[in-house]
Amino acid sequence: MNTNKPKPENGNLKTKERCFFVIFRCAIPVCLSMIFSALIFTSGYLEAEEKSAKESKLSNSSLDEYKKSFDDEKTILAGLKKLLEIRQHQASLEEEKLTALVTKNDNLSINKRKGKYGTVLYSIRADLVPIDDILQVLITTSGKKIIVDDDIVRDKLSTIISVYLDDVPLVDIIDTVFGAKGFETIISENLIFVTLPAKLNVDSSYGYYQEKAIQEYQKVMIKYPKYKGIVRAYFELGNFYLASNLPSIALQEFKTVIANYPDHPFARDSMLNEGKSYEMLDDIENAKRVYFKYVERYPQSNDVDDAYLKIADLLRKQGDYKKAIETYSYIMEVYHDRETVKFANMRLGNAFIDSGEYAEALKIFLSMKSKFIDVSRKSKRTKSAAISNTVEYQADQGQQESDVSGLLVLPDRLRCELEYQIGNCYYLLGKYDKAIRILKNFVSYEENNYMLDTASYKLADCFFKTENYLTAFQLYKNALTEFPNSTLSTHGFLYSGKSLREMKMLDNAIEILKQGLGRHQDGIYADSMTFEIGLCYLDDENYKRALETFEEITEGKRDKDMVIKANIYAGISLARDKQQEKAIEHYQKAIKGDTSEMRIDWVSKLVGDSYVELGLLTEAVKAYQQDTGADL
């Protein structure tokens, strides 16, 4: 008689259970493939992530941004792998609590045998057996240790289940037993880690296991303070906090490494991360102090040039352009054979722009352009149809070849910034024709780079400055269409309206300015667009609407200079509407808040003109003489 045959009275129950597990086994591989792709600690995790949840986001990112994201996540995932190693070590240190043999149970048997090609196959017969009992037999049979996540309620492991599987890999049994309760497992060579289910998308599970890793590192620190790998636990925990945007907590971990393990290689890396933490906290002085300490303590480090670069960046951020320029120059001189010199060169030019030395900045950029040329490289020249239809070519083909920076041996992000800044310097110097030539080539031949919207708007600004308002408007309109989510969109709406107003297309100007206000009512140019609408009404001799628009600006908490201008033009609107007394009142408000001598002279003349219209010549003379005392 077959002793394994189910009892007749339990036949219906067993049939249902078998059906359940057959269905479950069919569904499990699909779910597990999704779960395992979110848990495996290799570069395959990253590739899967890139092709799924983050694909749309990464498609809009530059190569440098993608590399940074890749490196950050790789660092964290390396930490998670280390977590698994620590858990294995922890398991070996703890007293073995599970017995090698289980109490004899006629309702449970697990056997294994060798299959083809060196595989090991298992068979299980479990008839209404607690999961705990199954686990103990699995440990004995497979030789693997099973560690259960602390967040799992232990009572759930006492649940009675039935399982019947023949000649299957161990993973199938593990997945069936734990999958029945909704758990997830990570299986390594000697360890099975049972944990709570994370949502089946990379971001959710990534955050969940990052948090679990933090908890486990903390436990290791408490339980095994003398464990040789503890320094890595502190370091990785700091990295987790840093990646989680918790710099104040990360600081404590990095400081612990530096103080307690000063000779360990992680102490050097921790000092750099300590500086980064202070930067994230916007504590510039402490960040500088740490970086200065780093370059003093590790002068031969491979990262010392990066530390100097950070020091220079912080000096520039503080407005100490002289010291920043000196530090960038030092990097270029001492570390000329390192990749960092390219970034130092770029930021040196930016520092000169920040300090208002545009000619010196241009020299730096042009020198940099000639320095990093490799004739073996070719630039991609994909002409933008929108620009080609708008801007006539103003230089011959040979000149175009010399202007486009595709031949530069620089990272794409740096190369694009360099080309843009050359055009920007010409713009800042008032050399608009040269700026147009450089920027036109940039937007025509550089596709899919992060500065394309900035360059497009700057090109339009050049034409606006040269009073070519039609071309300027067309370029602003193209930029608004091509880069609808650009932070410069408010600028585009404002100057589109300005261009149309200059061309006396007042209704069109008001329409596009209102459209801009509708989309960016809280933007930095909101008041400027409202002011421009007021000017359109004023030019259209609709003085009542103009006055209402300017007075709207003077109300509430507005920019002081904008309020002064609005009061002046409210007065002008009233004066042209023959309401001279009220006009003078607005002029007086403007003068009381103004400190600009040139504008005071202008407003004083407007006051005088209003007094003349009123026939009050004495007051008019006083106003013209800027005798703006109590009577004014």
Whether residue 537 lies inside any domain: the answer is: no
Whether residue 280 lies inside any domain: the answer is: yes
Q: What average pLDDT does range 491-509 have in this prediction?
A: 96
Residue 114: what pLDDT?
Answer: 79
Tally of domains in the chain = 3
- Cα Rg, the chain, nearest whole Å: 36
Whether residue 371 lies inside any domain: the answer is: yes
Same domain for 321 and 238, yes or no, is yes
Residue 47: what pLDDT?
Answer: 41
The whole domain housing 438 covers 357-480
> Is the confidence at residue 431, as pLDDT, over 80?
yes
What is the C-alpha separation between 632 and 622, in angstroms, rounded?
9
Q: Which residue has better confidence, 424 or 146?
A: 424
Residue 69: what pLDDT?
Answer: 67
**The one-letter amino acid at 444:** S
Same domain for 99 and 223, yes or no, is no
Residue 251: what pLDDT?
Answer: 92
The CB-side HSE value for 177 (13 A sphere, CA atoms) comes to 30
Same domain for 324 and 434, yes or no, is no
Whether residue 161 lies inside any domain: the answer is: yes
Whether residue 329 lies inside any domain: the answer is: yes
Q: Which residue has better confidence, 16 or 258?
A: 258
CB atoms within 10 A of CB 100: 8
Flag the least confident range among 145-154, 485-494, 612-621.
145-154
DSSP for 82-147, please give it: HHHHHHHHHHHHSPP-S-SSPPP-TTEEEEEEE-GGG-EEEEEEEEEEEHHHHHHHHHHHH--EEE
Q: How far is CA 477 from CA 352, 390, 446, 471, 491, in A?
A: 32, 11, 19, 10, 11
The mean pLDDT of the chain is 77
Flag the least confident range among 157-171, 396-410, 577-591.
396-410
Most confident of 98-102, 307-311, 523-527: 307-311
Contact 442, 420 (CB under 8 A): yes
Among 619, 570, 611, smallest CA distance to 590 is for 570
Same domain for 131 and 212, yes or no, is no
Flag the least confident range among 94-108, 320-334, 428-442.
94-108
CATH number at residue 61: 3.55.50.30
pLDDT digits (tens, 9 = 90+) for 553-602: 988 667 888 999 999 999 999 999 999 999 999 998 888 866 678 888 89
The last residue of one of the domains, among 132, 166, 195, is 195
Whether residue 7 lies inside any domain: the answer is: no
Which residues contact residue 189 at a Cβ distance below 8 angstroms, ignoring those fewer than 6 apart? none
Whether residue 66 lies inside any domain: the answer is: yes
Q: What average pLDDT does range 134-142 have in this prediction?
A: 81
Q: How far is CA 179 from CA 24, 101, 155, 163, 175, in A?
A: 9, 25, 16, 12, 5
Same domain for 240 and 305, yes or no, is yes
Phi, psi of 130 (to 5 degrees): -60, 145
Q: Which residue has better confidence, 5 or 317?
A: 317
Same domain for 391 and 324, yes or no, is no
Residue 502: what pLDDT?
Answer: 96
- What pTM was computed for the model? 0.63
Residue 160: what pLDDT?
Answer: 81
Residue 99: what pLDDT?
Answer: 31
Same domain for 322 and 432, yes or no, is no
What is the C-alpha separation between 586 and 565, in angstroms, rounded?
10
| % of the chain residues with pLDDT over 70 | 68
Flag the least confident range among 148-157, 327-336, 485-494.
148-157
What is the C-alpha separation between 232 and 217, in angstroms, rounded?
9
Q: Which residue has better confidence, 302 or 162?
A: 302
The last residue of one of the domains, among 195, 211, 242, is 195
Same domain for 172 and 155, yes or no, is yes
Whether residue 620 lies inside any domain: the answer is: no
Among 512, 486, 489, 490, smallest CA distance to 499 is for 512
> Is the confidence at residue 66, as pLDDT, over 80?
no
CATH number at residue 221: 1.25.40.10
Flag the least confident range among 28-32, 212-216, 385-389.
28-32
Flag the least confident range among 19-28, 473-482, 623-632.
19-28
Flag the least confident range among 27-36, 196-205, 365-374.
27-36
User: Where does the pLDDT of residue 495 fall: very low under 50, low under 70, confident under 90, or very high at 90 and above?
Assistant: very high
Q: Which residue has better confidence, 405 or 414?
A: 414
Same domain for 94 and 171, yes or no, is yes
Same domain for 191 and 241, yes or no, is no
Q: 464 by DSSP, 3-state: which?
A: helix
**Residue matched to tokens 């007021």:** 534
Residue 73: what pLDDT?
Answer: 66
> Is the confidence at residue 421, as pLDDT, over 90?
yes
Same domain for 309 and 404, yes or no, is no
Residue 277: what pLDDT?
Answer: 95
Same domain for 75 and 168, yes or no, is yes
How many helices (H) and strands (E) in the chain? 29, 6
The last residue of one of the domains, among 451, 480, 509, is 480
